[in-house]
Amino acid sequence: MNKPLRKLVLLPAVLALVLPLAACGGDDDGEAGNGGTTTLTVYAAASLTSTFEQIGDEFEKAHDGVEVEFSFGGSSDLVTQIQEGAEADVFASADTANMDKLVDADLAGEDPRDFATNTLEIATPPDNPAEVASFQDLASKGLQLVVCAPEVPCGAATQTMADNLGVTLKPVSEEQSVTDVLAKVTSGEADAGVVYRTDVTAAGDAVHGVTFPESGDVVNTYPIAPVDGSDESDLAAQFVEFVLGDTGQQILQDAGFGQP
């Protein structure tokens, strides 16, 4: 009769030892999550994908315990997400118009600063089956053309270029980002797509780039700013400075971006 009683007496003693250990384990995990790594969230235009990933890697090397997370997309979509409450620390746009939306909504933590420029280039499949040689060729009958939607910076630039040259474009698709346009070209769904020259450079042998002399007449300027209300405002400001510094600017120039 004593044995069952002894077991019941020992159980609380065992729990008394185990529960503090479990609690300690929980505290350790919490400290690692809260103090071990600081996450900086950057919303950036799709055309910045490869360059900002490189810049993010270099920023992490220079800032121990910091992890940079990116959300890439069309600048118009990104600024809308921020306006609707998305928790971004930094916003980098492919044009001034969408950055102005952030400023007008009182969501820019500091005055935006220009950090790069970009111009348009035509991307075709590697063998350029439609023999596109100029911007005017994009109006050729039967050409499967893909462009960015007009509310997206690359789309607005494309429309401005078409207006300047008196060319009427009839795209089969309007995409929300340059990466989507490029994907249509590389998959063979399009004969040509209008993107940025940096996108053609980044795509390498996957596409054929067609330059045109008028491209310099329409230049997109890229601004960057911390987002107001960020929990990491100091770190966000440091990231902006890093993009504008020697390392960031060299990475951007190597990718084909122009200086602001």
Residues making up the annotated binding site for molybdate are: 47, 75, 178, 196
CA distances (Å), origin 166, targets 161, 162, 169: 8, 6, 10
Question: Annotated binding site: which residue ranges?
Answer: 47, 75, 178, 196
